[in-house]
Structure 1
Amino acid sequence: MENDKLMNSVPAMRILENEHHYLSHLMNEWHSIVLNIQNDRYTEEQAGPEFARLRQLLTDFKEPLAQHTKKEETYFFPLLGRHIGYEQGPIMSIENEHEEIVAYIDHFLHHSDGEFSLAQMKQITRDAGEAFEILTVHFVKEESVLFPMTARVVKKEEQERLFEEMHTLIV
């Protein structure tokens, strides 16, 4: 259970880190279907229901992801940006990734409504796979760069206010 431990000492960052754990759990549910389709582990008959399940899991995933992203973009990034700059560097890059992740998920959802051959499902699931890959690296960047930076540059009073602002559920 070593991977389940929260690494950050700043309570507000522990909230976001905990949300990353939850979102990663959800991601692993749908990513296993992506991998099974991509690696030809399903027959055409098996793939259809799993593809539909993948679509539902990604549809369900969008809301907690959106709530998490909203917290970061409303409270965390503006506060950190006041200390390290906002217009360039890590915050801008992370926000661009937010848009890219949503674009891949939405593209998958747009193109996945209907009946498809196994070859078509394989093609369509690439977007879901890309979303997973970007999100995985994205979480690592936030946890290894932005979260520790918060402990160094954000004043204790600001950290406490940030905790109060972000202490809400994403589901």
Structure 2
Amino acid sequence: MVNDKFISAVPAMRILENEHRYLSHLMNEWHSIVLNIQNNAYPLDLARAEFARLRSLLIEFKEPLAKHTKKEETFFFPLLGQYIGYEQGPIMTIEQEHEEVAAYIDHFLHYSDGEFAMEEMQAMARDAGEAFEILTVHFVKEETVLFPMTAQVMRKGDTDRLFEDMHTLIV
């Protein structure tokens, strides 16, 4: 998303764009904590409290992210793959990024329950930072490569069906 307007003219892609906006908003809430921990911006007691809040925010983030990802992998990618191929190229790369983001978040959540020294929190927060970076670029790739490709290659009947299939909430 370059600005407040939707990039795609395809209503089904606008659903995904809107979800990207929401997920980006949530990401920004926890990414600021990641940066502050990594940059030693907090005294230890506050760092521990913010680290616990980071963990809580990531737990809350997992559900809408998983619903968004499932929606893309269940409806969007298989249909687009019928037009452009599925086993290689942009769809495969995007799906690998879904797995990578989930792995970073799960790794962070697995190890981050407890009280830690500053250095340990900084090391663990890197996983959340990596998830943020991958997702940020990932959204741009989808919006600048896959969504325009959908507008170019997909028949209207298919985009209409895709809209109906994806017109569900992620929260």
User: Given the two structures, how large is their TM-score scaled by the length of structure 2?
Assistant: 0.98
Counterpart in 2 of 1:30? 30
Counterpart in 2 of 1:145? 145
Please tell me whether the aligned partners of residues 36 and 42 of structure 1 are also in contact (alpha carbons under 8 angstroms).
yes
Superposed CA deviations along residues 103-123 of structure 1, whole A, max 9, x for unmatched, are 000000001000101111001
Give the letter aligned to residue 117 of structure 2.
Answer: S
Please tell me whether the aligned partners of residues 4 and 21 of structure 1 are also in contact (alpha carbons under 8 angstroms).
no
Aligned residues: 170
1:109 and 1:132 map into 2 onto residues whose CA distance is 14
Shift >6 Å, 4+ stretches: none
Check if 1:123 corresponds to 2:123. yes
Check if 1:71 corresponds to 2:82. no
Counterpart in 2 of 1:80? 80
After TM superposition, the structure 1 = structure 2 runs for residues 85-104 of structure 1, keeping only pairs within 5 Å, are 85-104=85-104
Check if 1:62 corresponds to 2:78. no
Please tell me whether the aligned partners of residues 104 and 128 of structure 1 are also in contact (alpha carbons under 8 angstroms).
yes
How much has 1:3 moved relative to structure 2? 2.2
Check if 1:166 corresponds to 2:161. no
User: Given the two structures, how large is their TM-score scaled by the length of structure 1?
Assistant: 0.98
Percent identity, please.
75
How much has 1:42 moved relative to structure 2? 0.5
2:137 and 2:49 map into 1 onto residues whose CA distance is 29
How much has 1:6 moved relative to structure 2? 1.2
